[in-house]
Amino acid sequence: MMLAIWTILTAGALAGMFALCVALAVVGVRALERAFGRQERAAAP
């Protein structure tokens, strides 16, 4: 029984870390796109 609990906890922790990494990547890409978009708009006449 203990093994099942640890398996569920470990799987949940891995899924949580994966979701956190994906969320950080999405936020980072959006921030970069926003920054580059501002630069492109500023450069355009």
Predicted TM-score of the model (pTM): 0.63
Does the residue 10 lie in any domain?
Answer: no
What's residue 42's pLDDT? 67
39 in any annotated domain? yes
In three-state form (DSSP H/G/I as H, E/B as E, the rest C), the secondary structure along 1-45 is: CHHHHHHHHHHHHHHHHHHHHHHHHHHHHHHHHHHHHHHHHHHCC
Q: Which residues contact 29 (CB under 8 A, 6 or more apart)?
A: none
**Cβ atoms within 10 A of the Cβ of 39, count?**
10
**Per the domain annotation, does 6 fall within a domain?**
no
Dump pLDDT digits (tens) for 5-38: 999 999 999 999 999 999 999 999 999 999 888 7
Q: Residue 37 falls within a domain, yes or no?
A: yes
Which residues span the domain enclosing 33? Answer: 15-45
Q: How many structural domains comprise the chain? A: 1
More confident residue, 43 or 3: 3
